[in-house]
Amino acid sequence: MSATFNPWRDVAKPLLKGFMVTGKRAFKKKVTIQYPEERREQFVRSRWRHVLTRYDSGLEKCIGCSLCAGACPARCIYVEAAENTDQDRRSPGERYAARYEINMLRCIFCGYCQDACPTGAIVLRKDFELANYDRDDFVYTKEMLLEPVREG
């Protein structure tokens, strides 16, 4: 049995459905946000830019344990640990992260690194402006991730 061409069913009916959707939305209030000046409120659980936090004393919370790298399903985190010395103390533990890198092109922003961190060193904040022009700039180093030392 072959299907015959029916102009009402095959052309006019879908066209009218589309015009009805357009007509319903044409007179509703527009929800355009003027982005750089206005910002949309983010969801409570949104996770974007990674930040390495510090204690109030200025020491880094990261102890170089690499649990965040082990928990990452995208394998975008690289941690190289080094030993603390009395002359050069970076964290309160025995070790600190001498090298900490996150390849943001591979990151899926799942938050597993934050959940796996025993000291709460890596957190995902709500800064979502991560665009860049060069691929190499998407590899965030420890210096880019570490929050500045608080005054006082």
The pLDDT of residue 152: 63
Higher pLDDT, 109 or 26: 109
SS3 state of residue 135: helix
The pLDDT of residue 2: 56
Per-residue pLDDT averaged across 87-94, rounded? 91
Per-residue pLDDT averaged across 49-77, rounded? 96
The pLDDT of residue 90: 93
Give the whole-angstrom CA distance, residue 36 versus residue 110.
Answer: 26
Per-residue pLDDT averaged across 81-93, rounded? 92
Higher pLDDT, 7 or 112: 112
User: What share of the chain in percent tops pLDDT 70?
Assistant: 98
Per-residue pLDDT averaged across 58-78, rounded? 96
* DSSP per-residue string spanning 99-139: EEEEETTT-----HHHHH-SS--EEE-S------S-GGGGE
Which band of pLDDT confidence, cut at 50, 70 and 90, is reported for residue 94? Answer: very high
SS3 state of residue 96: strand
Pairing of β 50-52 and β 122-124: antiparallel
Residue 1 has pLDDT above 60, yes or no: no
The 10s digit of each residue's pLDDT in 15-26 is 999 999 999 888
pTM: 0.75
Per-residue pLDDT averaged across 144-149, rounded? 93
79 phi/psi in degrees, rounded to 5: -125, 130
Residue 32 has pLDDT above 90, yes or no: no
